[in-house]
């Protein structure tokens, strides 16, 4: 089996980008260790701090953020960093060619119940000149690489450098990421959806109607049964979609009028959208293709609908109607 470095060479990925991806892979191995030690290492539970989005930070949110930040600052080819857990962009190397946006620990509400968590990352080209927030505000289409690492029963990485989406599995014996799926392909049709149903009463009319029709099953307009899954970690839900198809959504809601969306564009929606598109799926807000959004700020949030191409199209058709 090919390891990560060999696969990147075979794909003719630029050497500097390959180095950066190997740095991210190495750091994720260390994160995998920290996560695995759990209560034994005293890393569970919350801190007393909040991040810029008003969420109480878990200890592991802070630990994993520092691990990635330190590794990327030392890598030599990174110009700057944006993270869920950093209020502002962080300067790295003056001559660095890349910007890295990351969610160091996705699904952190799962930490204390020993359930699925992961790391999500997005790599953009660094523009010339001074590093500011503006340097990062590029469309998701500009990403030169995107991926996530899932700390599950096995540690897996999903990665794209624009040559399709690949899965790697961490070999616990050798500590190497080995290529276990060369061409991830999302089935265009599906009978499975993922949404936090407890927010139902807060959704807009198109999503209310779409989900209601799925739940009606055989007696509804879809004339077949749909199954539902929700892991509460986007990495886990998107991984399932990449493995066996499905539609995942965190739609617009009016629970809190100041916060109509939950997921973050730069380090959640964009990297997942690229992985999904590279695997033949689609990713939209309901009204706009995720990868074509012009970002306004690094912590911007968006509605996300992604997965099996035909099912995303069905969901989008509900957004075209008047209610
Ligand atoms: P994070 O832990 O990085 O803040 O992200 C959590 C996100 C995402 O992973 C998941 O899909 C969603 O929040 C779950 O939200 P609910 O708790 O509302 O189900
Ligand atoms: Mn968070
Ligand atoms: Mn997250
Ligand atoms: Mn997070």
Question: Is the full-model pTM beyond 0.90?
Answer: yes
Quick check: CB of 277 below 6 Å from ligand 1? no
- Annotated binding-site positions for substrate: 106-109, 196, 262
Looking at the structure of the chain, the number of domains it has is: 2
Domain that holds residue 205: 192-320
**For atom 14 of ligand 1, which residue has the closest CA?**
232
Quick check: CB of 106 below 6 Å from ligand 1? yes
The residue behind tokens 């996300």 is: 304
Residues 254 and 316 in one domain: yes
CA distance 262 to 275: 20
Residues 150 and 83 in one domain: yes
Is ipTM beyond 0.90? yes
Quick check: CB of 56 below 6 Å from ligand 1? no
Residues 200 and 267 in one domain: yes
Pairing, β 90-91 against β 56-58: unpaired
Closest ligand to C-alpha of residue 256 is 1
Residues 216 and 125 in one domain: no
Using the atom order of ligand 1, give the atom closest to the CA of residue 106: 3
Q: Of 183, 214, 230, which one is at a domain's C-terminal end?
A: 183
Residues 77 and 160 in one domain: yes
CATH number of the domain encompassing residue 51: 3.30.540.10
Quick check: CB of 196 below 6 Å from ligand 1? yes
The predicted pLDDT at position 39 comes to 78
Residues 157 and 222 in one domain: no
| CA 276 to mean position of chain CA atoms | 10
Closest CA to 62 of 54, 50, 75, 72: 50
Residues 102 and 135 in one domain: yes
Residues 227 and 164 in one domain: no
* Ligand 1 site-directed mutation target among 198, 263, 266, 272, most atoms within 8 Å of CB: 263
Residues 101 and 209 in one domain: no
CATH number of the domain encompassing residue 290: 3.40.190.80
CA distance 215 to 237: 19
Q: Of 123, 157, 183, which one is at a domain's C-terminal end?
A: 183
Q: Of 183, 204, 239, which one is at a domain's C-terminal end?
A: 183
Q: How far is the CA of 14 from the centre of ligand 2 (A)?
A: 32
Closest ligand to C-alpha of residue 234 is 1
The set of residues, in sequence order, having a beta carbon less than 8 Å from that of 253 and lying 6+ positions away, is 199, 202, 203, 204, 260
**For atom 18 of ligand 1, which residue has the closest CA?**
196
Residues 266 and 169 in one domain: no
What is the DSSP-derived secondary structure letter of residue 299? Answer: T
* Ligand 1 site-directed mutation target among 232, 251, 283, most atoms within 8 Å of CB: 232
Residues 176 and 200 in one domain: no
The predicted pLDDT at position 38 comes to 85
Biggest alpha carbon distance in the chain?
A: 61
Residues 151 and 198 in one domain: no
Using the atom order of ligand 1, give the atom closest to the CA of residue 110: 2
**For atom 19 of ligand 1, which residue has the closest CA?**
232
The predicted pLDDT at position 192 comes to 98
Q: How far is the CA of 186 from the centre of ligand 2 (A)?
A: 27
Per-position pLDDT tens, the chain of length 323? 999 999 999 999 999 999 999 999 999 999 999 999 887 877 788 898 999 988 899 999 999 999 999 999 999 999 999 999 999 999 999 999 999 999 999 999 999 899 999 999 999 999 999 999 999 999 999 999 999 999 999 999 999 999 999 999 999 999 999 999 999 999 999 999 999 999 999 999 999 999 999 999 999 999 999 999 999 999 999 999 999 999 999 999 999 989 999 999 999 999 999 999 999 999 999 999 999 999 999 999 999 999 999 999 999 999 999 99
Can you read off the two tokens belonging to residue 103? 């969610």
Residues 258-283: pLDDT tens digits?
999 999 999 999 999 999 999 999 99
């Amino acid at each position: 089996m090919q390891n990560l470095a060999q696969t990147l060479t075979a794909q003719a990925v630029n050497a500097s980008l390959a180095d950066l991806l190997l740095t991210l892979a190495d750091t994720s191995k260390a994160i995998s260790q920290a996560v695995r030690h759990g209560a034994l290492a005293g890393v569970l539970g919350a801190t007393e701090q909040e991040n810029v989005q008003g969420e109480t930070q878990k200890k592991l949110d802070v630990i994993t953020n520092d691990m990635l930040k330190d590794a990327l600052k030392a890598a030599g080819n990174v110009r700057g960093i944006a993270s869920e857990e950093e209020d502002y962009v962080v300067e790295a190397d003056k001559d660095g060619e890349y910007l890295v946006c990351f969610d160091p620990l996705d699904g952190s509400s799962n930490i204390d119940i020993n359930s699925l968590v992961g790391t999500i990352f997005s790599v953009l080209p660094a523009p010339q000149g001074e590093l500011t927030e503006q340097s990062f505000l590029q469309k998701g289409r500009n990403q030169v690489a995107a991926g996530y690492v899932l700390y599950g029963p096995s540690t897996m990485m999903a990665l794209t450098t624009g040559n399709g989406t690949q899965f790697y599995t961490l070999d616990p014996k050798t500590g190497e990421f080995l290529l276990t799926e060369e061409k991830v392909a999302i089935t265009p049709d599906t009978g499975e959806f993922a949404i936090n149903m407890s927010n139902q009463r807060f959704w807009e009319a198109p999503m209310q109607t779409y989900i209601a029709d799925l739940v009606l099953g055989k007696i509804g307009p879809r004339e077949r049964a749909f199954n539902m899954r929700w892991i509460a970690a986007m990495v886990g839900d998107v991984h399932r979609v990449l493995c066996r198809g499905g539609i995942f959504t965190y739609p617009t809601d009016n629970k809190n009028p100041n916060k109509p969306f939950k997921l973050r564009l730069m380090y959640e929606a964009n990297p997942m959208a690229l992985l999904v598109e590279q695997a033949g799926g689609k990713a939209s807000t309901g009204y706009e293709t995720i990868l074509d959004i012009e970002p306004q700020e690094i912590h911007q949030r968006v509605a996300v609908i992604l997965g099996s191409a035909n099912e995303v199209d069905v969901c989008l058709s509900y957004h075209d109607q008047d209610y």
